[in-house]
A and B are shown apart, each in its own frame.
Chain A
Amino acid sequence: MKFLTRPAFRLVPDGTRIRFMNGRFAGLIVSAVLSTASLILFFHPGLNLGLDFKGGVVMQVGTPSKPDFAKLRTALNQNHLPGAALQSFGHDKGVLISLESQSNAKATQQALDNAQAAVKQALPNAKILGTQAIGASVSAQLFDQGLTALGLSLLMILGYIWFRFEWQFAVGAVATLVLDATKTIGFMVITRIPFDLVTIAAILTVIGYSTNDKVVVYDRVRENLRKYKTMKLRDLIDLSINETLNRTLGTSGTVFLAALPLALFGGASLSGFAWVMLFGIVVGTSSSIFIAAPILLLLGDNKLRRGTAKPTDDPTVAKSRA
């Protein structure tokens, strides 16, 4: 019974004094390089847009045995669909037919009907398991609306942290969140994980998680600013990170563990989501330490921490204590 009620291990020993701020420039430079690279990747080769944003038609066909691709290809050509892409799925017991986005609803319906006819012709024993057809105009609208919403929600975070902490904290957090989001996009370009509504949800979750993590570290910094009135800001940030290290690793550990089985065994619809999450957890956790904290140090040195002046003379300290 005792082994159940007693904690079994700690991730980090007590009283660590890791000098994280020694690596502040390295952290910022690595982050800047990765984010710049991600931006370049975003423009070239660009995201692997999923059906939600690219538009087009996808048909999933199940077959009793390995489908004859050559025969299907011929049938598709005969049915005026030479541009169709074929892909095996479901352990060789099926084929995924993807068609380019059609100009209008009528053409889309025509393409769907043609594909159906081609499947019947080439694979008589096949069964159409599912179809998806999305017009390109919807996608552009979704995309713009999504970006606007994301921008506004970042502004909201900026405002709240400013209100509860100081502007240096707010700028540090939001700048880090933007950097996190760009790296996540870069990761998706490299892994060719399709960018669709599901992965957008994953990015939003990552941003939510990352915000949470930054606020926890900042909260400890704010508390220590009141507690140790003469400690240098640099030492104070190091201390705060060390003190919260177990919680940072504990929480990211649980979220990581929750997402890991989804990434490994969750199947096509979940693994993209889960991989983006896993990457985001690692990036979000490390950025709290190596990016958000150094930005705070750069912006806040001599401002959040009075140099030689008396503590009570400094209005920012008085405010942060209120």
Chain B
Amino acid sequence: MLYFTRLKSLLIVLVCALGVALAIPNLFARPAAWVPWPQIHLGLDLRGGSYLLMQVDMKAVVKQDLTDLTDEVRSTLFKAHIGYTNLGADPLAKRVSFNLLDPNDAAKVKSLLAKLITPVTAANGAPDLVVAIAPSGTVTLTLSRPALIAKASQAVAQSITIIGRRIDGTGVVDPQIARQGSDQIVIQLPGVSDPNRIKRLIGKTAHMTFHMVPQGVAAASKNLPPGVEVVPMLNNPGEAQAIFSRVAVDGADLTNAQAGQDPQTGQWVVNFSFDGTGARKFAKITTANVGKPFAIVLDHKIIEAPVIQQPIITGQGQISGQFTAKSATDLALLLRAGALPAPLKVVEQQSVGPELGTDAIRAGVISLAVGFVLVIAFMASFYGLFGWFANLALVLNLVMMLGVLSLMGATLTLPGMAGILLTLGMAVDANVLINERVREEVKLGRKPLAALEAGYKRAYGTIIDSNVTTLLAHVTLFIFGSPPVRGFAVTICVGIITTLFTATVVTRLITARWFVARRPAELPVF
């Protein structure tokens, strides 16, 4: 048991060195941008900042989807000259339905609607729609479950990209944006103690559209012509104006937007430019409608409705909606970053100012250090030299744990640190088991070498069983637990694995080296 081949000793030393090397980046700042420098992130409780948990409003995504589907169905039926009534969407049941005037059209309608069905994704070939026709002539098109899941996943992924762009524009350093669960997004903003501006930026869908304005329709009018709706003004919610529902030009075609000041009036404005398609559409509309008002709408609120003075063929325009420097900058940022696929709402937020708890953190860190020293002192006085071997392994264990956690880019919070400390407290259990066994063998009258060999060998079974049981329990917690519990379970799992290595393999190597060098006549046991 105490014999190590040269290769094996070398391997053990190499693994230790690797663990130490992985932990080193935590001590220094990244030397250059191209160097891979995995570090443990400090949690917001340790360095101050804001945490936001956002929920993607899937209802809005489904509703938009059903509206589009209704339009498609309407035009399909219209083209095929099929009579229908009661075409409408039911967002709760996630379906679109209508009644056929002539139930005999059923077969024809079925084949027409089948063309609307597409696979959910290239990888998942399941249909995104289920079409059913009842004998009474009621047709329903229901969004399939895989389609809903794929849509949610897509909406979250898109939102993460767009939130990232929006936050980047604000100059926050090192923001972390990650998916949580099926429809939530976690945003961590280090150093931001007042998240209100960010919340405003993220909370807007920022879907900008341009609409034509019908002439002579009062906002208060009861009988709106078809295709016309009344939309409130952004700066003055009490006022409203009638606009055509049809989108003349979509803001999705914007390539750039910048805040600036109008050279004549000195007012803050947002200058924007369209890409090729957008510019062509914009040119066509503005050429055809000189002298008519044109509404710029953001998230269903009118920013302004200027009169088109002359055709705009360059694809560049200007919005002047009584902006301040800040609101112009924010709007430009939102337009550059693009629209969110669905509204997001804040379900959880936390912010920690830099002053909060410097005292608390100091107290926490000091008591953690005291706890660590107490463990070391206890092991040393309880087991003497073998206790010191265990302590050496314990320090190595801590370093390796930090190394692995940095490799995984883990976040370290104050409670997380307490978890690590207690894992270390439990890690000495392996050495306690070994030392107790060795001692028992000595008491049974074995010679030092035989006692060490038997002690290590017998303790292994117990160490493996107890650690594997705990490991399995925490792997299960990791698989099924909610995100915060998972983070904790990962820390414990990492701790168990490094413990199995340092407390058994490393102490055995140290003990073997010591034994070979000293050849003691008796072992230092009580």
Contacts and interface: CB of A to CB of B under 8 A. Distances in A.
A219 B481 contact: no
Contacts of A209: 422, 426
Given A7-B526, A9-B381, A257-B425, A109 B363 contact: no
Contacts of B524: 5-7
Contacts of B468: 160
A8 B432 CA distance: 15
Among B370, B418, B424, max chain A CB count under 10 A is at B418
A126 to B, nearest CB: 12
Interface stretch (B109-117, B156-164, B231-239, B350-358): B350-358
Given A265-B363, A269-B364, A138 B476 contact: no
A212 interface: yes
Contact of A267 (B346, B349, B363, B474): B363
Interface in B306-363: 345-353, 355-357, 359-361, 363
B386 to A, nearest CB: 8
A264 to B, nearest CB: 7
B469 A267 contact: no
A258 interface: yes
A129 interface: yes
Interface in A272-290: 273-274, 277
Contact of A254 (B375, B433, B476): B375
Nearest to A268: B360
A203 B477 CA distance: 13
Contact of A8 (B381, B428, B469): B381
B197 interface: no
Contacts of B432: 247, 250-251, 254
Interface string B49-82: 0000100000000000000000000000000000
A270 B418 contact: yes
A270 to B, nearest CB: 5
Nearest to B371: A258
B470 interface: yes
Contacts of B484: 142, 197, 201
Nearest to B44: A130
Given A7-B525, A146-B485, A257-B375, A269 B360 contact: yes
B467 to A, nearest CB: 7
Contacts, number: 255
Interface in B397-450: 414-415, 418-419, 421-422, 424-426, 428-429, 432-433, 436, 440, 443
B367 interface: yes
Contact of A204 (B466, B479, B488): B488
Contacts of A135: 347-348
A14 B442 CA distance: 13
Interface residues of A, number: 84
A138 B53 contact: yes
A216 B462 contact: yes
Interface residues of B, number: 82
A7 B484 CA distance: 41
Contact of B473 (A130, A211, A253, A258): A211
Contacts of B433: 216, 247
Contacts of A10: 382, 526
A156 B476 contact: yes
Contacts of B470: 208, 211-212
B34 interface: no
Given A132-B349, A259-B371, A7 B436 contact: no
A131 B415 contact: no
A152 B433 CA distance: 29
B509 interface: no
Contacts of A155: 476
Given A7-B384, A7-B526, A152-B476, 16 more contacts: A4-B388, A6-B526, A60-B356, A129-B356, A149-B481, A149-B482, A153-B473, A156-B473, A157-B473, A204-B488, A209-B422, A219-B465, A247-B436, A251-B426, A257-B378, A260-B371
Interface of A: 4-11, 14, 60, 62, 90, 104-105, 108-109, 127-135, 137-138, 141-142, 145-146, 148-150, 152-157, 160-161, 164, 197-198, 200-201, 204-205, 207-209, 211-212, 215-216, 219-220, 223, 243-244, 246-247, 250-251, 253-255, 257-262, 264-270, 273-274, 277
8 contacts: A4-B388, A6-B384, A149-B477, A198-B415, A247-B432, A257-B375, A261-B367, A274-B418
By Cβ-Cβ distance, the 7 closest A-B pairs, closest first, are A258-B425, A129-B356, A149-B481, A153-B476, A255-B425, A267-B360, A261-B367
